[in-house]
Amino acid sequence: MANTEAEIQSIKQRFGIIGNAPLLNHALHVAMQVAPTDMSVLITGESGSGKESFSKIIHNLSHRKHGQFIAINCGSIPEGTIDSELFGHEKGSFTGAHEARKGYFEVTNGGTIFLDEIGEMPMGTQARLLRVLEYGEFIKVGSSKVQKADVRVVTATNVNLLNKVAEGKFREDLYYRLNSVPIYVPPLRERGRDVELLFRKFATDFADKYKVKPISLTEDAKAVLLNYRFPGNIRQLKNLVEQISVLSPNEKEINGAILESYLPKDSALPALVSGQNGKDNISEREILYKVLFDLKKDLTDVKKMVLEMISNPGQAQQILKNNTHLFEGIEEAKPENDQPVVLNLNQAQPSTVQVRAEEVQDITHEAEDDSLSIQKKEKELIMRALSKNKNKRKYAAKDLGISERTLYRKIKEYDLEN
């Protein structure tokens, strides 16, 4: 046990990992154990929690450490080009393919590929990736020649992939193939006093960078720091310390009031960031609109589901199963005797469901109207985000709280490319 602790501390020093939280140490221990093998690893954790650091640890502790390591964000590559990026293409295989190109799997042969945001990978690309994992081979876009690939695949996600599987957006066979060894990277709020250690580390780094005195925290400021949830995790904490270091260079000690003045007031809202007052900024009201319209969209989906169940009562159970994502977070209803209520919709007979045709028509029209209203507001928000960020999609996607690939698809859907 003592040797294991010493090895973990050595890994922390080598890769700049700060903290002593039990969950962090467990994740490092698993990474050390799996690194010498060629098993697939799925790293889970919130955005900004440091998942990429674990992929580098796995690579550098493996027999592939002298091979190439490449990190790819699947959410930032447009759906139409991701196959070419990963597997390469032949000359003339599509418009703009003026010459043949090697993909990342060919370039990284003998090394490690880290696929971040794996949940954003298109279904077609998932099938190609599964073939690489199962048989160690791939085919370039526009080619019929099978090529071999000796590549270790490490993946990461900040979403629940099993939910994606249930929604039909992620292959179940690929999920279990990737999840040979799971590693959970805890968010900052689950790491206790690690947040203080990280704050001091970043304060020292930025003091050296900007030639200012390193800032420190009073006891009440430490309490504020420990109680804040940090939805952006380590990335958010680092940005916070940099802001304070630059904007409060004469403050040697930061008290609770000063620290609170730098913390976002509405951290529970979606990641639409409101800047200073200006005509191009996304207002707080629009953030609330986004929340409300997301709720309204769910309501519309429920209405459509009810309509489908009315029309096909014999398939009601399957329809419910296909729409389980609409009821996430809702506790199961129980009667007074605390026994779960079991509703067997397969026993429902068409004659037991009586709905007038005009009522069905009203539900349909209302759902359509809601859908159009949501689309209009969504398009408006995307236009504002693009305008605010001068059409830089990376930053617009960040403001909207969606991936670049999703934004790219929405831009095409609403014909906003011009």
Each residue's pLDDT tens digit, 56-67: 999 999 999 999
- Alpha-carbon torsion angle 333, 334, 340, 345, nearest 10: -50
- Give the pLDDT mean for 304-310: 72
The kind and range of the H/E element at 183 are strand 181-184
Size (the chain), residues: 418
Angle CA(180)–CA(185)–CA(188) in degrees, nearest 5?
170
Each residue's pLDDT tens digit, 120-135: 999 999 999 999 999 9
Which residues are 305's β-sheet partners? none
- Give the pLDDT mean for 173-190: 95
The pLDDT mean for the chain works out to 82
The rounded distance, in Å, linking the Cα atoms of 254 and 246 is: 13
Each residue's pLDDT tens digit, 248-269: 877 779 999 999 999 987 544 4
178: confidence class by pLDDT, cuts 50, 70, 90: very high
Please name the amino acid found at residue 248: S
- Alpha-carbon torsion angle 17, 22, 27, 29, nearest 10: 90
The rounded distance, in Å, linking the Cα atoms of 306 and 311 is: 9
90: confidence class by pLDDT, cuts 50, 70, 90: very high
289 vs 321, more confident: 321
328: confidence class by pLDDT, cuts 50, 70, 90: low
Other CB atoms within a 10 A radius of the CB of residue 345 amount to 14
Which residues are 253's β-sheet partners? 216
Domains contained in the chain, CATH given: 2-186 (3.40.50.300), 200-262 (1.10.8.60), 284-327+342-413 (no CATH)
The kind and range of the H/E element at 154 are strand 152-157
Q: Which of 173-177, 322-326, 357-361 has the highest mean pLDDT?
A: 173-177
395: confidence class by pLDDT, cuts 50, 70, 90: confident
Residue appearing with tokens 């997301």:
294
141 vs 276, more confident: 141
The rounded distance, in Å, linking the Cα atoms of 170 and 164 is: 5
